[in-house]
Chain A
Amino acid sequence: MRHPEDTPNTAPNTAPNTAPNTVSGAELGSARVPSPIVLRATRILYRVLLAAAVLLTLRGHHEPGGGFVGGLFAAVAVLTVALVQGPKVARRRLRVTPIQVAALGVSLAVASGLPALVTGQPFLTHTIGYVPMVGGAWKVSTALLFDFGVLLCVLGSVTGFCLRLLESR
């Protein structure tokens, strides 16, 4: 099987131009340029890993999983991009700084405990509600908000450390 772009005469430095949404070698700041196969695979992997992160977080409600593992998966997704296309591209994918991601996560986690205080219950007492939607009633709880807070907190801190390490090379 031969990919149309995968001709033997293609010089390595022209490869990025054939793949959309990628940066040139000069912007990467290194002579290393990813092959189009790796680039395409990264894009797929990025989405698969993010979907896995969300699924794991949702699953953590009753089965092994949860916000922490989900956060690690999401971080791996971002770091895959960072390894292939450079930390600059990965930072652009996050849109905000890793510290802001982590801070948003902690804010969500704290906020999830506040409704209980209003009703006079202990902090972090979670309430579960059922929202009618396609496929029957969906279970929605403040614990879910807490878990997504944990996800963002882990994602922010892990990517924060790792991107800085990658940039210091």
Chain B
Amino acid sequence: MNLWAVLPVLVPLATALLCLALQRRPVAQRFVSLVGGASFLGIAVALVLGTAGGAVYETRLGNWPQPFAIRLSIDALGAALLAVSGAVLLALLAVPGRGECATARSPLVPPLVHGLMAGVGGAFSTADLFNLYVWFEVMLIAALGLIALGRERRHLDAALRYLVLNALAAVLLLCAVGGLYGVGGSLDFDALSLGLGGDGSPSAAATALVALALLALLIKSAAFPFGAWLPAAYPVLPTPILALFAGLLTKVGAYAVLRLVAQVAPAASAPLLEPLGWIAAATMVTGVLGAAYHQDLRRILSFHVISQIGYILLAISLGTRAAFAAALVYTVHHILVKANLFLIAGLVRRSGGSFDLRHLGGLASRPALALVFAIPAASLIGLPLTSGFWAKLTVVKLCFAEGRYTFGVLALLVGGLTLYSMAKVWIEAFWKEPPDPYYPRRVPKMAFVATFALAALTLALGVYPEPLLVFAELAAALGPGGAR
């Protein structure tokens, strides 16, 4: 038990350090990096299997007694998210080739990627509010390094935008954490939950502080109106790293919102769920409108990240156990699909020579590329037989069941607009005559392995969603007060 709970942090951290030591030996570094990624996935899958049987992997760092120790606790929710993160990590590490720009070739990329994963692993394992903040900082530092690695003006510009909003969020979160400690008397999720009044009537101060923490986490998850940093910062990254960012970073923010609302402060956050729902709706709509407007594939997909975050937050804002389960299902689906779409954007660039829809065309003559794009695209829209169908269906169904007809209709409408924007990509990049007869070029088969694996996972969850839905139902029973 003591060992398993720290592995999601220790393994990526050790991999990062080894990769740093092997900076001058690219082959060995790539090998260590792949082994580290595969071990992370393996551990996460083992944790999922363990937690599916009802186990919770816990450890108190430093063996301090309960009120002082930082507790790492991996329950079904954390394990599920660790597993999809591991799948995405391994997929992007498996993408061969030298990458499309100087950033991708830097020997500092693998250490920073695994450093980021240590932050992600820590955030999904911890049961301590201040420790959660620390893992956000670890992710911020690693992400900032990855953005700034390009060293050109546009990279530094993106890094600055990313830093300003995320550092602001970090400060707000730190203030909220300090305040919650003052009110609730603990930083441990379970103890704090009791300190804030459990399911009873919380003080106004507790609600205000939870609102502050939610504000910080909403900036981190790029919700409306704080999402401006995301489409500004993401497109300067090379696509494999972009896949990691888009798949994981904002989702950790959404995960923290879920923890806070469902486990730490269910009563104190109850009056905040209504505004959260409207913020979620606005996030869905503005994100998809941005995606419908833009022509650069990376920007389109970045705006879709924002739009999909809206769905997750919408599910959380419904505030029931079934809704929390729906949020988890949606997050799992979204991480797999979004990371895959960004990896495919990289393949589109390799074949078509550009990310810009105006300069692309004729990609339909590459059947493997067309197929591998069609599956996650259909899943993003929410067509049947893909994971997106079940994810969207559960959220929309819950909206109507809870009597939130506006939200339900908006969610369907946004689905329609997602269809429009994906159809635009399909028509422009795949059906249109190529503007330059030199394109589309061949892409080596090896480059498709990772994307096909992720697409197969999406399809598998679409055809046979039962295990995921059952597991999510189990995972949504979060600590005291979670099983309302």
Contact = CB atoms under 8 A, between A and B. Distances in A.
Interface of A: 99-100, 103, 106-107, 110, 116-117, 120-126
Contacts of A120: 2-3
Tell me which of A103, A116, A123 has the highest count of chain B C-beta atoms within 10 A of its own C-beta: A123
Contacts of B61: 122-124
B62 A110 contact: no
Given A106-B13, A117-B6, A120-B2, A99 B20 contact: yes
Contact of B63 (A99, A106, A122): A122
B62 A125 contact: yes
A123 B10 contact: yes
B20 A117 contact: no
A106 B141 CA distance: 15
Interface residues of B, number: 15
A110 B6 contact: no
B2 A103 contact: no
Given A110-B10, A116-B63, 14 more contacts: A99-B20, A106-B17, A107-B17, A110-B13, A110-B14, A117-B2, A117-B3, A122-B2, A122-B60, A122-B61, A122-B63, A123-B2, A123-B59, A126-B62
Contacts of A121: 2, 63
Query: Chain B interface secondary structure, helix, strand, loop or mixed?
Result: helix
Contacts of A100: 20
Given A99-B20, A103-B20, A117-B6, A122 B13 contact: no
B21 interface: yes
Contacts of A116: 63
Nearest to B59: A122
Given A106-B13, A110-B13, A110-B14, A125 B63 contact: yes
B63 A103 contact: no
Contacts of A126: 62
Nearest to B14: A110
B20 A110 contact: no
A116 B3 CA distance: 10
Contacts of B20: 99-100, 103
23 contacts: A99-B20, A103-B17, A103-B20, A110-B10, A110-B13, A110-B14, A110-B17, A116-B63, A117-B6, A120-B2, A121-B2, A122-B2, A122-B6, A122-B61, A122-B63, A123-B3, A123-B6, A123-B10, A123-B59, A123-B62, A124-B61, A125-B62, A125-B63
Nearest to B71: A122
A57 to B, nearest CB: 18
A51 to B, nearest CB: 29
Interface in B55-74: 59-63, 69
Nearest to A107: B17
A2 B344 CA distance: 75
Nearest to A146: B62
Contacts of B63: 116, 121-122, 125
A123 B62 CA distance: 6
Contacts of A123: 2-3, 6, 10, 59, 61-62
A67 to B, nearest CB: 15
A95 B351 CA distance: 45
A73 B263 CA distance: 42
Contacts of A122: 2, 6, 59-63, 69
Interface in B71-117: none
A136 to B, nearest CB: 27
A157 B61 CA distance: 25
A69 to B, nearest CB: 19
A99 B20 CA distance: 9
Interface in B9-28: 10, 13-14, 17, 20-21
Contacts of B59: 122-123
B62 A124 contact: yes
Contacts of B13: 106, 110
Nearest 5 A-B pairs (CB), nearest first?
A: A125-B63, A123-B6, A124-B62, A122-B59, A122-B63
Contacts of A117: 2-3, 6
A117 B9 CA distance: 14
A110 B59 CA distance: 16
Nearest to A126: B62
Nearest to B58: A122
Nearest to A123: B6
Contacts of A107: 17
